[in-house]
Structure formats: structure tokens, C-alpha cells
Amino acid sequence: MRKRQLEILLQRVRGFTSPSATMEQYMTPPSLASDLLHMAHMRGELTQVLDLGCGTGILAIGAALMGAEAYGVDIDRQALRIARENAEMLGVHVDFVLGDIERIAFRRVKTIIMNPPFGAQHASLGDRAFLRKAVEIADVIYTIHNAGSLNFVRSFVSPCRIEEVYKARIPIKRTFEFHRKDVEWIEVELYRIVCK
């Protein structure tokens, strides 16, 4: 499937009905999701995929659309209900699991894809717990962070290595009271991290 076709399909994915600000719930934009998935697909790294903090499922569902065996885990049951409906609507199977990122356990997986909370809100777990879990179980990680996180992430995941950096701007629609503009553009970076 071409990247543009994937993006069009992913535009049909529903986001959060009542997003939690403390969990920094917002849906990964379809354009960035398809960029990430295309990058992984080109490298043959979209075979067995786990999405940590999958929310309503866009990354895991996109991976399944590209032919991957796909799994998603999140702590929000309501988000997972929507994720299951999204997968069904797009005709793919994804195994979704309810779990706490700091306490759940997996066997080793080939690839993790994730857009973890950035830790901008005080009560959020932030990206550390997600990165810690990811380097524990995956060979390769595709992960989205605030622009400027490179040095922190590089040292945090060591001895795993950041092998590629891709920069993007994403629109965040006004979701929470503290968002002042209707659409805020934020700079993000996608890292490909190799652990094997």
C-alpha cells in the first residue's frame, strides 16, 4: 500500500471521545502516522508490531493495514473500545490489551511503534516509562517526541542507538482548556532506535 493510500484510510480512525489532559491524550495525525509506518515498512520492520500507549489505535491499525501482526496496549478501557471499532471499520485485526505501561510484561517483539505522552503535563507519566519498556522488549523502536528531545532520548536509551531522526510539524486541535489557540502547530521528532 502506498503512503498516501494509508494516510487516507487512517483519516477514518476516530480519536478520543473525552480526552484526558493528564494522560496527554491526542491522536497521532494520520499524516505523521503514515510517515512513521511507511518508514518502518521500507526497512522490513513492520512484521510484528506492538504499539505502546495505543489510544484509539491509529498506529497499530495502520501497521495491520500494512500486513503486520499488530498489538496495542493502553491503560484507558474506553479508548480501547474505540480502537476495536476502528480496527473493525477498517477490516483489520489488532489484539488490544488493557495494561499499565510500568507493570505489563511481554515477550521480546520485533518492533515497537509509539507516540508516548511527552510529559508536558505534571501528572503524566511522560515518555520515560514508555522508553524504558520499549528498550526492554524490542529490537527496533519508532517513537515520537517533542522537538529537542534528542540528547535526552539518546542517553536514556543507551546502549540502544538512535539511527535516524525525522522532523515534522503536527497540528494539535484545541482539545483542552489550557490550549489557547484553536489549532496549535507543534514541532516533533520521530526517532528510529535500534537495540539488537
Partner 1 sequence: MEILVCPVCRGDLELEVFEENEREILTGRLTCRSCGEVYPIEEGIPNMLPPELRERR
**CB nearer to partner 1: pick between 26 and 96:** 96
How far is residue 39 CA from its own chain's centroid? 14
Distance CA 101, CA 53 (A): 8
When asked if residue 106 is in the footprint of partner 1 (CB under 8 A), the reply is yes
Site string for partner 1, 124-163 (x = CB under 8 A): ----------------------------------------
Among 46, 55, 60, 96, binds partner 1 (CB under 8 A): 96
CB of 54 within 8 A of CB of 96?
yes
**CB nearer to partner 1: pick between 123 and 147:** 123
Q: How far is the CB of 140 from partner 1 (least distance, A)?
A: 15
Among 37, 46, 50, 114, binds partner 1 (CB under 8 A): 50
CA-to-CA separations, 167 to 90, 187, 188, in angstroms, rounded: 28, 7, 6
Among 71, 130, 142, 191, binds partner 1 (CB under 8 A): 71
Task: Report the amino acid identity of residue 10.
Answer: L
Q: Which residues contact 66 (CB under 8 A, 6 or more apart)?
A: 1, 6, 37, 41, 46
Distance CA 20, CA 32 (A): 21
When asked if residue 90 is in the footprint of partner 1 (CB under 8 A), the reply is no
Question: What residues make contact with partner 1 under the rule CB under 8 A?
Answer: 48, 50, 71, 73, 75-77, 80-81, 84, 93, 95-100, 103-107, 109
